[in-house]
Homo-oligomer: A and B are copies of this chain.
Amino acid sequence: MEWEIQHGGEENLQNQIQNGVCGKVMSDEQVEELKKQIVAYSAISEQLAELHKSMSAHHDFTGIRLGKLYCDPISASVGHKITARQRWTPSPLQLQILEKIYEQGIGTPSKQKIKEIASELAQHGPISESNVYNWFQNRRARSKRKFQVSTGSVNAESEPDVSTKEKKTKPVGLDFIDNFSQGVESFYFQGSESGTKMWHLVLCQNHNFPFFFFFSFFKSSFCRD
Contacts and interface: CB of A to CB of B under 8 A. Distances in A.
Contact of A183 (B165, B199, B219): B199
A187 B218 contact: yes
Interface string A140-160: 000001111111111101100
Given A172-B170, A210-B16, A183 B149 contact: no
Nearest to A2: B225
A175 to B, nearest CB: 7
Nearest to A93: B157
B158 A125 contact: yes
A165 B222 contact: no
Contacts of A220: 153, 185-188
Given A40-B67, A179-B76, A183-B80, A51 B173 contact: yes
18 contacts: A1-B13, A37-B69, A38-B38, A46-B211, A49-B210, A51-B61, A62-B169, A79-B179, A79-B182, A84-B184, A126-B154, A161-B192, A171-B172, A174-B176, A180-B214, A187-B202, A204-B219, A211-B215
A152 B122 contact: yes
A198 B23 CA distance: 24
A104 interface: no
B63 A223 contact: no
